[in-house]
Structure 1
Amino acid sequence: MTSTFASPPGGAPGTAAAPAVVATEVTKVYGAGGAAVHALRGVSVGFARGAFTAIMGPSGSGKSTLMHCLAGLDTVSGGSVALGDAEITGMSDKQLTMVRRERVGFVFQAFNLLPTLSAERNITLPLELAGRKVDQAWFEHVVEVVGLKDRLSHRPNELSGGQQQRVACARALVSRPEVIFADEPTGNLDSRAGAEVLAFLRSSVREMGQTIVMVTHDPVAAAYADRVVFLRDGLIVTELFEPTPDTVLDRLKSLGG
């Protein structure tokens, strides 16, 4: 199955626009000859602007590989990836670095915060490195939504795991990226802290019109999304709109995940 859905049926205003990121017949092969591993086998899928999409599947299904290819963190073996109006397939390393810096945000399982910097400096550091001025009004709005207004002077070791991940989310948002890619963002958090981070990601879509693509193995996390795309053996095999933990779990069971 190849998926061409860009937005859920009856989606929110604005989701009918061109997708934020599109993969077309994407393949990814690691190794060669008899040792070759086909991680992706011709995936075509679009991700709607202003929507929250989760990518799921059994271990080894290709979900993280797909996200890395969509984000320009890994090259494709075949097919193409477009971020908005930019065809990133075939871009040089320098061009990809610029795209990731200016148009994409990242949230990973590891918080990747600099321990010597305050929460505020960690949030604004990517802008500083890019030589871009901080939009103070936007910064304050992001901090308000993420709930860190009284924690900006704290260093990472003075914050809980959930607060550290929310700093990472704010860092991803402050540059106003076209899309945020989140790879198991609650993987290092307990259930309560994970729920805080997921609620924030959900509110960033609802209140800021952010586009989020998240890889997760957790049905509860996936239920925060508008849509779940399921992979198995390097192919998209089904998708689910308006998911609940139970419907996601049932779909995973049917895939053997």
Structure 2
Amino acid sequence: MAGPDTASGRIAVGAESVVKVYGRGASAVPALDGVTVDFAAGQFSAIMGPSGSGKSTLLHCLAGLDRVDSGQIRIGSTEITTLSDRQTTRLRRDRIGFVFQSFNLLPTLTAEQNILLGLQLAGRRPDRAWLDTVIDVLGLRQRLGHLPGELSGGQQQRVACARALVGQPDVIFADEPTGNLDSRSGTEVLKFLRTSVRELGQTVIMVTHDPVAASYADRVVLLADGRIAGHLAAPDADTVLSTLTGLAA
């Protein structure tokens, strides 16, 4: 097992001694128990672990969607654990992209309107050349005028990916992005996420339970019982599956 290969690049996201506890007193459950981990810029990372290992909690804390109880999280040079709610909202809006399992598209807006919604709410104009690149890489040119209900699940998730990318964020967080898709559509989305890293220079951090999905990543971070349990570099599905089986034993 190997840690992140950061010798040739900067750290996009880092966590140091992060603790997150749900509940209080006798009913308190430590979801994250002193997690320290770095994610390199320009890398596709997957976070995996048995059910209840804390992987989604870690993703939400890294993305500023959930507050930690102690420890530090940085996005680039910004320590987000000291930000106010307003500052955190601004950081998520301006520097982070999100792709979720449930797509989260507005049903009354076209694909193009959904893609541009975040920028419009932030009062920003899209970089037209970048927008065209994202649309073409995702194969959405012929679907821009369609409503979400007129698109397949895979197409809807590609729209969600385009929305996450269009603002040129520092990092994209993806929470089970293929969970609601059939295998073919899921493969399309995973190939795009990989392409966005290798050809567009994006940084992607994805939570998944699927060893095949994880095999598209450059690196897998393994969690067990709220702690870092190891790393896999250049993972393949069989290695991921056997490692997860060992963690769950």
TM-score category (smaller protein): over 0.9
Q: Is 1:174 equivalent to 2:172 in the alignment?
A: no
Once the two structures are superposed, residues 171-230 of structure 1 have per-residue CA deviations (whole angstroms, 9 ceiling, x without a partner) of 000000000000000000010110010011010001101000000000000000000011
- Structure 2 equivalent of residue 231 of structure 1: 223
Structure 1: gaps (5+ residues): 9-14
Residues 1:208 and 2:206 aligned together: no
Of 125, 137, 141, 1:145 maps to 137
Aligned equivalent of 2:18: 26
How many positions carry a matched residue from both structures? 248
Identity of aligned residues (%): 64
Assess if the C-alpha contact under 8 Å between 2:4 and 2:219 holds in 1: no
SS of structure 1 residue aligned to 2:141: coil
1:7 pairs, out of 5, 8, 18, with: 5
Provide the rounded CA distance (Å) in 1 between the counterparts of 2:202 and 2:208. Answer: 18
Distance 2:15 2:111 in 1: 35
The reply on whether 1:247 has 2:239 as its aligned counterpart is yes
Query: Where does residue 73 of structure 1 map in the other structure?
Result: 65
Equivalent AA in structure 2 for residue 60 of structure 1: G
Q: Is residue 176–residue 208 contact of structure 2 (8 Å, CA) maintained in 1? A: yes
CA distance in 1, matches of 2:10, 2:127: 27
Give the CA deviation at 1:31.
Answer: 1.2
Equivalence for 1:11: none
Deviations 1:50-72 (A, max 9, x none): 00000000000000000000000
Residue 91 of structure 1: aligned partner:
83
Task: Determine which of 47, 50, 56 is the counterpart of 1:58.
Answer: 50
Query: For residues 81 and 204 of structure 1, what CA distance do their matches in structure 2 show?
Result: 24
Secondary structure at the counterpart of residue 143 of structure 2: coil
- Quick one: distance in 1 between partners of 2:165 and 2:37? 24
| Maintained 8 Å contact 1:62/1:232 | yes
For residues 135 and 119 of structure 1, the distance between their equivalents in structure 2, rounded to whole angstroms, comes to 17
For 2:103, the aligned partner's letter is: F
CA contact (8 A) 1:7 1:51 kept: no
Q: Aligned equivalents of 1:113 and 1:190: distance in 2?
A: 19
CA distance in 1, matches of 2:50, 2:245: 9
Query: How far apart are 1:32 and its partner, in Å?
Result: 1.2
What is the CA-CA distance between 1:17 and the residue it aligns to? Answer: 2.1
- Residue 12 of structure 1 is matched in structure 2 by none
- Distance (whole Å) between structure 1 residues aligned to residue 121 and residue 79 of structure 2: 25
Query: Whole-Å Cα distance in 1 between the matches of residues 149 and 66 of structure 2?
Result: 31
> Structure 2: any 5+ residue segments left out of the alignment?
none
1:189 correspondence with 2:181: yes
Contact preservation (8 Å) 1:6, 1:19: no
